[in-house]
Structure 1
Amino acid sequence: MKKLILSILVAAGLFGCRKLDQPITREFTETSYWRNSQDALDALAACYEHLSKDDYFFGDEALSDNAYNNGGGLLNVNAIANGGYDGANGRVADTWSYYYTTIRRCNTVTTNIDRVPAMDAMLKRRIVAEARFIRAYAYFQLTVSFGDVPFYTDLITIDQSRVIARTDKNTVQQFVLSELADIQKDLPTNTDQAQGDRGRVTRGAAIAMSARVHLFRGEWQGIVNDCEQLIGKTSNGTYSLFSGYSNLFTVANEYNPEVILDLEYGGGRTYDKQRQFLPQTIAALRSVLVPTQDLVNDYIMTNGKAITEAGSGYDENNPYANRDPRFDATILHHGSRVTDFNGVQQTILTQPGSVPATNTVDDQGASPTGYYFYKYYDRSATNYSSGLNLILVRYADVLLMYAEAKNELGQMNATIWNQTIQPLRVRAGFADAGATQFNAALNQDQQRAVIRRERRAELTFEGLRILDIRRWKTADVVMNKPVRGIKVSSGAFNKDPNGYIIVENRLFTNPKHYLWPVPTVERDQNKNLSQNQDW
Structure 2
Amino acid sequence: MDPVLTKEFTDATYWESAANAELMVNMAYNQMYSADKMWNDEALSDNIYEGRSATDQRLIRNGLANPNMPRFASEWSDAYGGLKTCHVFLANLDRVPDGNEAWKKRKSAEIRFIRAFIYFRLVNFFGDVPFFTSDITLAESETIKRTPKATILAFIHDELSAISMMLPNRNELALSDRGRITRGAAMAFQARAYLYESNWQKTADYCDSLMQNQGVYGTYALFNSYEGLFQPANEYNQEVILDYAYVPGKKQWNKLYDAAPLSAGARLNAYAPLQSLVNNYLTTKGIPITEDAAYSDNNPYVNRDPRMSATIVFHGGKWTDFNGTIRTIYTKPGTGSNDTEKADVYINASANSSPTGYYVKKYYDPSVTQDYNSGLNIIMFRYADVLLMYAEAQHQLGKMDASVWNRTIRPIRDRAKFTAASALDFPTGISAAALTTLIRNERRSELALEGLRYYDIVRWKAGKTYLDGTVTGAKFANGNSDYIRLDNRRFDDSRDYLWSVPRAQMDLNKNLLPNNPGYAN
TM-score, normalisation: structure 2:
0.94
Quote the offset at 1:354 in angstroms: 2.6
Distance 2:28 2:476 in 1: 49
Distance 2:173 2:361 in 1: 32
Partner of 2:358: 371
Partner of 1:11: none
Q: Which of these residues, 358, 376, 389, is aligned with residue 343 of structure 2?
A: 358
Query: In the superposition, relative to structure 1, how do residues 489 and 153 fare at CA in structure 2: closer, same or farther (>3 Å)?
Result: closer
Distance 1:219 1:395 in 2: 20
Alignment of 1:452-463 (within 5 A): 452-463=440-451
- Structure 2 runs not aligned, ≥5 long: 1-6
Whether the aligned pair in 1 keeps the contact of 2:319 and 2:328 (CA below 8 Å) is: yes
* Secondary structure in 2 matching 1:487: coil
* Secondary structure in 1 matching 2:160: helix
Quote the offset at 1:92 in angstroms: 1.5
Alignment of 1:383-402 (within 5 A): 383=370, 384-402=372-390
Partner of 2:318: 337
Distance 1:228 1:489 in 2: 48
* Secondary structure in 1 matching 2:43: helix
* Secondary structure in 2 matching 1:482: strand
Partner of 1:213: 193
Distance 1:260 1:293 in 2: 31
**1:249 counterpart = 2:223:** no
Distance 2:325 2:414 in 1: 31
Whether the aligned pair in 2 keeps the contact of 1:274 and 1:283 (CA below 8 Å) is: no
- Structure 1 runs not aligned, ≥5 long: 1-25
Partner of 1:119: 99
Report the residue type matching 1:519 in the other structure. P
Alignment of 1:20-419 (within 5 A): 28-72=9-53, 76-117=56-97, 119-234=99-214, 235-267=216-248, 268-309=250-291, 311=292, 313-355=294-336, 356=339, 357-362=342-347, 364-383=351-370, 384-419=372-407
Report the residue type matching 1:509 in the other structure. D
Distance 2:166 2:409 in 1: 32
Distance 1:274 1:48 in 2: 23
Quote the offset at 1:230 in angstroms: 1.1
Distance 1:28 1:435 in 2: 61
Partner of 1:22: none
* Secondary structure in 2 matching 1:231: helix
* Secondary structure in 1 matching 2:381: strand
Quote the offset at 1:56 in angstroms: 1.2
Distance 1:476 1:271 in 2: 33
Q: How many residues align?
A: 503
Q: Deviations over 1:162-209 (max 9, x none)?
A: 111111111111111111111001000000111111111000000000
Whether the aligned pair in 1 keeps the contact of 2:346 and 2:476 (CA below 8 Å) is: no
Q: Deviations over 1:3-54 (max 9, x none)?
A: xxxxxxxxxxxxxxxxxxxxxxx96321211113223222211111111122
Distance 1:261 1:312 in 2: 42
Quote the offset at 1:120 in angstroms: 1.1
* Secondary structure in 1 matching 2:211: coil
Q: Deviations over 1:463-517 (max 9, x none)?
A: 00000000001112211121101113635x9xxxx71110111111112111111
Quote the offset at 1:312 in angstroms: 5.6
Distance 2:172 2:53 in 1: 44
Distance 1:390 1:289 in 2: 18
Alignment of 1:512-527 (within 5 A): 512-527=495-510
Structure 1's consecutive aligned runs of 4 or more residues displaced over 3 angstroms after TM superposition are: 342-346
Distance 2:53 2:269 in 1: 13
Report the residue type matching 2:58 in the other structure. N
Distance 1:361 1:97 in 2: 39
TM-score, normalisation: structure 1:
0.91
Partner of 1:500: 483
Report the residue type matching 1:370 in the other structure. G
Identical columns (%): 44
Out of 459-468 and 60-69, give the one that drifted further. 60-69
Whether the aligned pair in 1 keeps the contact of 2:62 and 2:491 (CA below 8 Å) is: yes
Distance 1:473 1:413 in 2: 25
Distance 1:37 1:284 in 2: 42
Quote the offset at 1:428 in angstroms: 0.4
Distance 1:55 1:90 in 2: 15
Query: In the superposition, relative to structure 1, how do residues 417 and 312 fare at CA in structure 2: closer, same or farther (>3 Å)?
Result: farther
Out of 353-362 and 257-266, give the one that drifted further. 353-362
Q: Deviations over 1:381-417 (max 9, x none)?
A: 1312000000011000000000000000000011100
Q: Deviations over 1:351-388 (max 9, x none)?
A: 12334432122160011000111110111113120000
Whether the aligned pair in 2 keeps the contact of 1:331 and 1:375 (CA below 8 Å) is: yes
Partner of 2:411: 423
Q: Deviations over 1:85-143 (max 9, x none)?
A: 21222221111111111111111111111122363111111000000000000000000
Report the residue type matching 2:138 in the other structure. I
Out of 366-375 and 64-73, give the one that drifted further. 64-73
* Secondary structure in 2 matching 1:48: helix
Distance 1:284 1:413 in 2: 46
Distance 1:182 1:274 in 2: 39
**1:444 counterpart = 2:432:** yes
Report the residue type matching 1:413 in the other structure. D
Q: Deviations over 1:188-234 (max 9, x none)?
A: 00001111111110000000001000010000001011011111332
- Tell me the C-alpha RMSD between the 2 structures: 1.6
Out of 228-237 and 184-193, give the one that drifted further. 228-237
